[in-house]
Structure 1
Amino acid sequence: MSEITPDLVRHLGVLARIQLNDEEVERLTGQLDAIVDNIAKVSQVATPDVVATSHPVALENVFRADVPGGELSREQVLQNAPDATEDRFRVTAILGEEQ
């Protein structure tokens, strides 16, 4: 027997302050029932012998060595800048004041 009934879905809609029409109630009844059934299946196999995990594969951070590379010349740095002057990047003022 199904745990999720249309009346329960309507009640959950009221609690969540969501207006549900009859079509939505019918659709959600089936979806929520499938979710509850799947959780019940997982609960059956989740025994104290099975270690709880958040990921099936262990996560590991991958870091590379922080090694300084070659330096760029001032010309290389500024070659793709939309606007440069006196060997500097030129940007528009963002504070509304000229400095």
Structure 2
Amino acid sequence: MHVLLVAGLPHSQIAGRLWLDGKTVRRFARATTSDEPINGAPTRRRGTSDRHAVYLTARWNAGVTSTRQLHQELCDGCPDLGSSPANGSLPSPHL
């Protein structure tokens, strides 16, 4: 994106080329570092999966990469939360 900005393209053309929203282009154009737009102020509302993030991350790191299985575990109430091959215990998905 910065290459296109340096080349002098307007934000609207950059947005069209990269299939991004104009606000996204402006946010990245104003950033002084590549991490700034991501680590800055929150850009979205809190999702329903956010409260399960710690549990899902632990399960993913334990090798469970099937989203279908992870979803099913959340729906079933996760009866086997007591242990994990990765770290010995998992946080509850129901906070």
Structure of greater relative contact order (alpha carbons < 8 Å, 6+ residues apart): 2
Considering the TM-score relative to the shorter chain, is it more than 0.5? Answer: no
More strand by share: 1
- Shorter-chain TM-score tier: under 0.3
Instruction: Give the TM-score normalised by structure 2.
Output: 0.23
More helix by share: 2
Q: Which has the larger radius of gyration?
A: 1
